[in-house]
Amino acid sequence: MSAPLTRAIATRLLAERLGNEVVVANLGQASFDLHAVADRPLNCYTFGAMGQCSSIALGIALARPDVRVIALDGDGSLLMNLGSLCTIATTAPPNYALVVWDNEVHQTTGGQPTATAAGSDLAAIARGAGIEKAMTVRGEDELQRAYDRILSEPGPLVVNVKVAKGKSESGLDRDVIGGPRRFIRALAARGRQSGAS
Amino acid sequence: MAGVTAGDPSWSKHVADVLRRNGIRMFATVPDSIVTQVLEHLGADAACRVVTVTREEEGVGLLAGAFLAGQRGALLMQNSGLGNCVNTLGSLNVASQIPVVLVISHRGDLGEFNPAQVPMGQATPKILDALGIRSIVPRSIAELEAQGDGLIKLAYTRALPVAFLLPAELTGGKLG
């Protein structure tokens, strides 16, 4: 097994491989790290509505089937909205991937353990919801192979990434109105193509 | 229904048509026996997409994503589901000025037979007001037609949620 991953490293490894994909980041740590590693107009940061990251990304994927959409969620947030996995399974968008930074704690609020610390298995829950391509990865090698699949295979995929505990070293301006509008303009400017790329 | 005039059964097509003629093509729902009458029209329209979600809040998130990607959306639900959406409507839609059209069947008001529906039924207009969500309560097809287009236009003018609160006078309610 490779060395334990941090969320920041895992985010950087994804950012290094991004082209025209949309990335939707959960409020707090996921958005902070994404912004620090690779701020780009096709990043959709979220600021409120804990739990809704996977659903917001699903709405984008359904409305723009020509664009590959990658959600970066957290274990605490996804646990608030497990029904989203059922809706992802029933709508089954081929351009959708959900990455979960699973550090087994509510990081932002002080590191209280989540259910994944006690053994709840988000990849197994996703498979139970009907998402066939659902996996847990540990270490850089497994993560890179999962990114290979996210960036090349038809979805939906769910990749639960076991990452080390720890807060982001970065922050993010809480431009709750302007931030989403930068994203809207960038996505609208991305011309429609046939099939996700 | 005692004390309430039964609805004209064509009400549901009028609601569907108001939504469609204002460019709404993406619909999320947790259905009830009333909004399902609207969904029958939308589901039969190849231009419309209806996604059944597991909980109303999920629909708010999904439709916010659709708006960010250039599509207008509406959430069809019973007022009991409004309580399941409150935080997301506040901290996502109102905070970030992301519009959505809520189509809410109003249980727990005039003529209600189920006592469990009444507390949320009576709280519903106050919850909408507390979030600053403009709503209309069309009691007839004529009122719906007079106000519906303007309500949706307002939502996209200011980029905020709005609500159609559909009373039993319009829909006939649920007869128990």
- Superfamily of segment(s) B11-171: Thiamin diphosphate (ThDP)-binding fold, Pyr/PP domains (3.40.50.970)
For A56, nearest residue in chain B (alpha carbons)? B65
pLDDT at residue A3 is higher than 80? no
User: What does the pLDDT average to over A29-56?
Assistant: 96
How confident is residue B2, by pLDDT bands cut at 50, 70 and 90? very low
- Which pLDDT score is estimated for A196? 56
Among candidate residues B176, B161, B166, the one with its CA nearest the CA of residue B138 = B166
Measured between beta carbons, the chain A residues lying within 8 angstroms of B97 are 177, 180
Query: ipTM score here?
Result: 0.95
- Which pLDDT score is estimated for B77? 98
A86 touches chain B (CB under 8 A): yes
- Which pLDDT score is estimated for B1? 46
Q: Which residues of B26-57 are buried (b: 16+ CB within 10 A; e: fewer)?
A: bbbbbbbebbebbbebbeeeeebbbbbbbbbb
- Residues B99, B20: Cα–Cα separation, whole Å: 16
Q: Any idea where the domains of chain B sit in the sequence? A: 11-171
How confident is residue B8, by pLDDT bands cut at 50, 70 and 90? confident
Measured between beta carbons, the chain A residues lying within 8 angstroms of B55 are 81, 83
A43 touches chain B (CB under 8 A): no
Question: Could you tell me the end-to-end alpha-carbon distance of chain B, in angstroms, rounded to an integer?
Answer: 9
Which pTM does this prediction carry? Answer: 0.96
DSSP 8-state class, residue B10: T
Assigned architecture for domain A7-189:
3-Layer(aba) Sandwich (3.40)
Residues B90-149: pLDDT tens digits?
999 999 999 999 999 999 999 999 999 999 999 999 999 999 999 999 999 999 999 999
